[in-house]
Amino acid sequence: MLVNAKEMLEKARDGHYAVGQFNINNLEWTKAVLTKSQEMNSPVILGVSMGAGKYMGGYKVVAAMVRAMDETLGITVPVALHLDHGNYEAAKACIEAGFTSIMFDGSSLPFDENIEKTKELVKLAHSKGISVEAEVGAIGGTEDGITADGEVADPAECKKIVDCGIDFLAAGIGNIHGIYPKNWSGLHFDALEKINQATNHIPLVLHGGTGIPDDQIVHAIRNGVSKINVNTDCQLVFAAATIEYVNAGLAAPTGDNKTKGYDPRKLLKPGYEAIRAKVEEKIKLFGSDNKA
């Protein structure tokens, strides 16, 4: 059931759990996330980065695939199709393509420009029933060519961008995209508490969910985080399962399950199942199971 993300995240905030955003990269990714979320009766957000959207043939293709799969598979849990870290042009394109939620990432722009573009996109998106996420304090690592060091957002700036009418906020608290380095100092919970207070408890978003210790995830949820993004974790388990399958086929090419190892339905199945297992693990950690 495709919806925008506003209501599901407000329920998560009030219920002290978080909804997972699992980024999708192809049909297998999408099917894995949808079917496991349905099995666990969990709301879910399908994240699409600009790079993934281009890879899959464009935002209209992605929206059509997700809508058709949602209907054909009989998905009844709330599902939001969300642009992840979109620039101004991508946000407008996804609004027109049929996404139900967008993120405009203006964190690399001068703050005043971030504010003005956010206001414009909020007005356009809300006129079509689409939810909006904005960002203050760039998330560390590299996402679609934008590199940042893991800034800590200014609570005053967070309040100003929330006043633009956004529905949920990504605020940097030392989190980064990708694999965390060994010398990572952890999330800044003092900053999270100040941001939560300054923004009147708007649902907050934690990007870079891969590699954050479970106890810090739980702590963040208790302090207002209602949406947690997962991408690298799924990429890692998909790659590992696929490599294992290929290597097993090379070692024993005449085995029954390897006789048609080149069949993409067999080649991609281990990765598909690995993503389903990872999604189940994260849904349990975030506490969103049986919350649909």
Concerning whether 84 is annotated as a catalytic residue, the answer is yes
Query: Element (H or E) spanning 188, and its range?
Result: none
Q: Which is catalytic among the residues 84, 105, 167, 233? A: 84
Distance CA 140, CA 152 (A): 10
Distance CA 61, CA 97 (A): 8
Q: 206: helix, coil or strand?
A: strand
Instruction: Kindly give the interhelix angle for 214-222 and 189-198, rounded to the nearest 10 degrees.
Output: 20
Task: Identify whether the C-beta of residue 198 lies closer than 8 Å to the C-beta of residue 159.
Answer: yes
The 10 Å CB-count burial string (b at 16+, else e) for 77-101 is: bbbbbbbbbbbbebbbbbbebbbbb
Q: What is the CA radius of gyration of the chain?
A: 19
Q: Report the catalytic residues.
A: 84
